[in-house]
C-alpha cells in the first residue's frame, strides 16, 4: 500500500517571536539545532528529505537502516537529525562533515559518530494514512503511541520532549545556547500546514558578548571590509577565533576599511585561528587579514557550540572602554542542562 501523503511535502515552518506565548492551547518543545528532516517509509524504501527538499538518505545510512528495521512498513515523520558529542550535547560540525561526496567517508562517520533522529510529528500513520489535516493534539498522541510500540534498541530514534507547562518551557529556554537553540511553541488545534508559519513560533535567546577583532575578511567584490573575525581569550591567555560579524552598513564598511588596514599584523589569533580554503569555502572568501588585538566590539549572539558561534553575530557597538584582555571565553558559558538529558539520556 503506497503512502497517502506526498513525499515531496514541505515542512511546516515557524515564525520568530520575542516572548514565549502562554495559554492552554500551546505545546512547547526544545528547539533542536540539527538538520530538519522529513522521513518517509513506503515498503522497503526510505527517503530522508531536508528542509530544502534535498535527499539526505546517502549521508545518514544508519538512520535509513534504523527506519527500515521498524515493524511498520508505512509512515511519515518530521524531526531533527543530530549527532551527540562527548559532553552530553550535540555537534553541528560533525553533522556538516556528513555532507561528503565519498560514500566510504560517510560510512566511516556513521559508525564512529552515529546520529539520533529526534521526532516531533507524525505525518502518516502505520497504514500510510495522511495525518496532515489532523490537529497537533491528536498527532502528538498518535506519535507517542507509534513510537512506544517500535523496537528501538540502539536509540537512533527518539521522541522530542514536549510540555504544556509554561514553567518547564521557561526552564528549557534558560538552558538554551549550548544544549538547544531555543523553544518551539505550537498551537494544539492546528493541522500540519506545510510551508506556512501560522501555527508554530520559535523563541531564540539573544545574548551579548564583548569580542576582540582579531582579523577581517574583504568583501567578495572591491577592497572593502566584508566581515570582522571575532576572538576571545582563554585561561592560558590565547586569543581564539570564535566566529564572525558581518551586519554592518556600507557606509560603516567604507569608514572602517582604512582603520583596520592600519592594524594589520600577524598572527591575529594566537589560539585557534580561522581555517583556510575547503570544500565549503575557497579562494578569496577564505582569505583573511590578521590584526593587532586592539579593537573590541559588542555583538549579539544566540547559540555557541563547539567553540564557535553557531550563527553569524549581530554588530551592536564598539567598546573603546573595554580592554581586549578583558574579553574572555567565560562570557559565552551557557547553562549545561545537556541536550541528551532533555531526551532522558545520561
Amino acid 198: pLDDT = 76
CA triple 307-311-315, angle to 5 deg: 100
172-194 exposure pattern, b = at least 16 Cβ within 10 A, e = fewer: bbebbbbbbbbbbbbbbebbbeb
The stretches in the chain having pLDDT less than 50 are 276-285, 336-337
Amino acid 345: pLDDT = 67
Amino acid 9: pLDDT = 87
Active site (annotated) includes residue 292: no
Q: What are 26's three cell numbers?
A: 500551546
Amino acid 327: pLDDT = 95
- List pLDDT tens digits, range 265-288: 999 999 999 974 444 344 444 689
- The structural domains of the chain, with segments of one domain joined by +, span 15-205, 207-332
CATH class of 207-332: mainly beta
End-to-end CA distance of the chain: 40
How many whole angstroms separate alpha carbon 338 and alpha carbon 346? Answer: 9
User: 15-205: what fold?
Assistant: D-amino Acid Aminotransferase; Chain A, domain 1 (3.30.470)
C-alpha closest to that of 149 among 157, 139, 160, 138: 157
Choose the catalytic residue: 4, 31, 73, 107.
31
Amino acid 302: pLDDT = 78
| DSSP result, 292-314 | -TT-EEEEEES-EETTEESS-BE
- List pLDDT tens digits, range 295-328: 999 998 877 877 888 777 889 999 988 899 999 9
Which element (helix H / strand E) includes 201? strand 200-203
Amino acid at each position: 500500500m503506497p503512502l497517502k501523503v506526498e513525499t515531496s511535502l514541505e515542512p511546516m515552518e515557524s515564525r520568530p517571536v520575542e516572548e514565549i506565548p502562554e495559554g492552554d492551547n500551546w505545546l512547547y518543545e526544545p528547539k533542536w539545532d540539527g538538520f530538519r528532516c522529513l522521513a518517509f517509509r513506503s515498503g522497503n524504501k526510505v527517503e530522508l528529505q531536508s528542509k530544502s527538499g534535498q535527499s539526505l538518505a546517502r549521508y545518514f545510512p544508519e538512520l535509513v537502516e534504523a527506519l527500515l528495521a521498524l515493524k511498520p512498513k508505512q509512515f511519515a515523520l518530521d524531526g531533527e537529525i543530530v549527532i551527540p558529542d562527548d559532553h552530553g550535547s550535540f555537534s553541528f560540525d560533525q553533522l556538516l562533515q556528513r555532507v561528503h561526496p565519498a560514500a566510504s567517508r560517510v560510512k566511516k562517520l556513521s559508525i564512529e559518530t552515529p546520529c539520533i533522529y529526534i521526532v516531533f510529528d507524525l505525518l502518516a500513520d502505520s497504514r500510510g494514512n495522511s495525518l496532515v489535516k489532523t490537529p497537533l493534539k491528536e498527532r502528538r498522541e498518535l506519535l507517542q503511541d507509534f513510537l512506544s510500540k517500535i523496537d528501538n534498541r540502539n536509540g537512533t530514534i527518539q521522541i522530542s520532549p514536549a510540555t504544556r507547562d509554561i514553567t518547564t518551557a521557561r526552564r528549557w529556554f534558560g538552558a538554551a545556547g549550548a544544549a538547544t537553540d531555543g523553544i518551539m511553541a505550537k498551537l494544539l488545534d492546528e493541522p500540519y500546514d506545510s510551508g506556512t508559519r501560522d501555527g508554530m513560533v520559535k523563541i531564540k535567546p539573544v545574548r551579548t558578548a564583548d569580542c576582540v577583532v582579531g582579523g577581517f575578511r574583504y568583501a567578495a567584490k572591491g577592497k572593502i571590509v566584508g566581515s570582522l573575525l571575532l576572538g576571545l581569550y582563554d585561561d592560558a591567555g590565547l586569543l581564539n577565533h570564535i566566529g564572525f560579524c558581518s551586519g554592518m552598513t556600507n557606509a560603516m564598511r567604507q569608514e572602517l576599511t582604512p582603520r583596520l588596514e592600519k592594524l594589520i599584523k600577524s598572527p591575529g589569533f594566537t589560539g585557534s585561528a580561522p581555517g583556510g580554503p575547503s570544500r565549503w569555502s575557497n579562494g578569496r572568501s577564505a582569505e583573511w587579514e590578521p590584526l593587532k588585538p586592539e579593537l573590541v566590539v559588542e555583538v549579539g549572539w544566540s547559540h555557541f557550540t563547539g567553540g564557535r558561534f553557531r550563527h553569524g553575530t549581530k554588530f551592536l557597538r564598539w567598546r573603546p572602554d573595554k580592554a581586549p584582555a578583558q574579553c574572555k571565553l567565560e562570557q559565552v558559558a551557557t547553562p549545561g542542562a545537556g541536550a541528551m538529558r532533555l531526551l532522558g539520556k545520561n
